[in-house]
Amino acid sequence: MDEEISFFDRPAVRATIKFVLSLALYFVLGFGIPEPERAFSGLVWDTVFCMLGLVLWTIFFSQFILPVRKLGDRLAIFDRMMAYFSGFHGPAIFLENGNIRARQDEREKHGPGVLWLDHASAAILRTATRFTRTIGPGVHFTKRDEYVAASVDLHTLTQAVGPNDNENPFTVSKEDENYQRIQDSGLETRGMTRDGIQVIATISVTFSIAAEESGGDDVLYGYNAENVRKVITESMIQGIKTDQPVWSSMPAKMAVDIWREHISRFRLNQLFEIPAGENKTNLQLIAGLLKDRMSMDVVKDLDEFGNFTGRTTPSPESKKLKDMGIKVLGVNVKRIIFPPEIEERLVKKWTTLWEKNAKKEREQIDQERRIREEKGQIDAQIEFANIITSEFQTTLPRNKRHAVYLFTHSTSQSVIRNLGLIKKMPKSDTSALTEIARWLKGNQ
């Protein structure tokens, strides 16, 4: 912003050249005026009418250039338009998702300018000596020598650290052109279990600038001026480039530090065990603790051997992120990578356990089936007994033959009523039962 401006690029020089050229064009179009008095008078009146027309039409058109509602903003647009005609105007810049959209020469102007930020943009302004103010979505007017120091994207963003899905730092060949990059990505999240086994993870952190969910008609993604200022200044202290939307790498670094801290408290075989009173493995619990440590003020305390102590402790990571104006929405351990020999050992162990569990589950299923069969037989016998004795509830048998008749009649009537359900029973058997009942009735 402090580069020396060339002579012809200076606003005063440009304004003078424009005025001289306009005056020359006026005389050329007038073809010369013989009377000096009339020439001077005509020049004055023409100048007055031109200037008056310029001012009036500028006032009119400035009402429709930008989406503003306040009278002060409309007057500011008029002021910038007049500065543009004179050559003393500043930059006119549009920010889209935190990205600055403007010609390079626009950003180098020093006069009063205008900034238009979309719904997902925010920025901080400064002069050569200090930061001036923080701005959010909408139209803003800059003063002389005031420019954008840095901008941010208000969308929810995700940072991932560690190897990609198809990369394995333990097995990549040295001849691979991406060998060094893959090794570096593995070192970012490499941790060590309590029994000395290396573990590499791919971790993603989802976060945004802490703000209200809605900031009004001009804000869809939430805007908080103080938190925007914290995020930008913290990023600039870390040396992040400001030619694009700035985002601190602190959330991802914190997640990796917490991951290493927790993985060092467990032995390899403990990672896949389910602690008493829990329904998740220790590895899943670690993933949950990552999010808790980065988003909650108080978290469960874990001792050096991976056991919950029953106490709670303040989370320094959550406090640090809040001080930075960042809100963590989620932390995900997407992938775990072990050395090849460890993976082979784990696969063999899981295969053995799977076979044992499968046999045990089959035995349980067979036992449950036998119990159900026995229960079904007992229920069927009870049901059959209830059917064949149903007529005994209303009629007492006079003798043995009458009792046999009641048994047979009840059975045949039950079969006839349920004949649609008993599809496999031949009709001849039903007829036989009916004939037996009739014979018994006729020979009582």
The burial class, CB within 10 Å (0-12 / 13-18 / 19+), for 291 is buried
Q: What is the mean pLDDT of each run of 10 residues along the chain (444 residues)?
A: 53 63 62 52 64 66 65 66 64 86 75 83 90 88 86 90 91 91 93 92 92 53 87 85 84 93 91 82 89 91 86 92 90 90 80 70 84 85 76 69 72 64 54 63 57
> Does residue 58 sit in the same domain as residue 183?
no
> Does residue 292 sit in the same domain as residue 382?
no
> Does residue 248 sit in the same domain as residue 172?
yes
Which residue among 153, 178, 204 closes a domain?
A: 153
Beta partners for residue 78, in sequence order:
none
pLDDT of residue 139: 83
Q: What is residue 142's DSSP assignment?
A: E
In a domain, 236, yes or no: no
In a domain, 237, yes or no: no
pLDDT of residue 373: 85
> Does residue 377 sit in the same domain as residue 321?
no
In a domain, 188, yes or no: yes
pLDDT of residue 443: 57
Determine the 3-state secondary structure of 56 from DSSP. helix
> Does residue 124 sit in the same domain as residue 106?
yes
Fill in the amino acid letter for 355: E
In sequence order, which residues have a C-beta less than 8 Å from that of residue 85 and are 6 or more positions away? Answer: 54, 58
The burial class, CB within 10 Å (0-12 / 13-18 / 19+), for 159 is middle
Longest Cα–Cα distance of the chain, Å, equals 154
Give CA separation, 154 vs 220, 230, 258, 330, 413, in Å.
Answer: 9, 14, 26, 17, 79
In a domain, 308, yes or no: yes
> Does residue 172 sit in the same domain as residue 255?
yes
> Does residue 171 sit in the same domain as residue 26?
no
> Does residue 204 sit in the same domain as residue 268?
yes
> Does residue 129 sit in the same domain as residue 167?
no
In a domain, 226, yes or no: no
187 vs 337: CA distance, rounded Å:
12
Q: Nearest 10 degrees: CA dihedral of 252, 254, 260, 262? A: -120
**230 within 8 A of 137, measured Cβ to Cβ:** no
In sequence order, which residues have a C-beta less than 8 Å from that of residue 108 and are 6 or more positions away? Answer: 1, 3, 91
83 vs 97: CA distance, rounded Å:
28
Full DSSP string of 175-230: TSTTHHHHHHHHHHH-EE-TTS-EEEEEEEEEEEE---S--STT-SS---HHHHHH
59 vs 278: CA distance, rounded Å:
71
> Does residue 172 sit in the same domain as residue 320?
yes
Full DSSP string of 294-357: HH-SEEEEE-TTS-EEEEEEE-HHHHHHHHTTEEEEEEEEEEEE--HHHHHHHHHHHHHHHHHH
Measured from the Cβ of residue 440, the count of other Cβ atoms closer than 10 Å reads 18
Beta partners for residue 142, in sequence order:
113
In a domain, 169, yes or no: yes
Q: What is residue 5's DSSP assignment?
A: P
Instruction: Give me the number of domains the chain comprises.
Output: 3
In sequence order, which residues have a C-beta less than 8 Å from that of residue 288 and are 6 or more positions away? Answer: 280
**77 within 8 A of 65, measured Cβ to Cβ:** yes
pLDDT of residue 2: 45
Domain of residue 202, residue span:
157-215+243-338
Q: What is the CATH number of the domain that holds 317?
A: 3.30.479.30
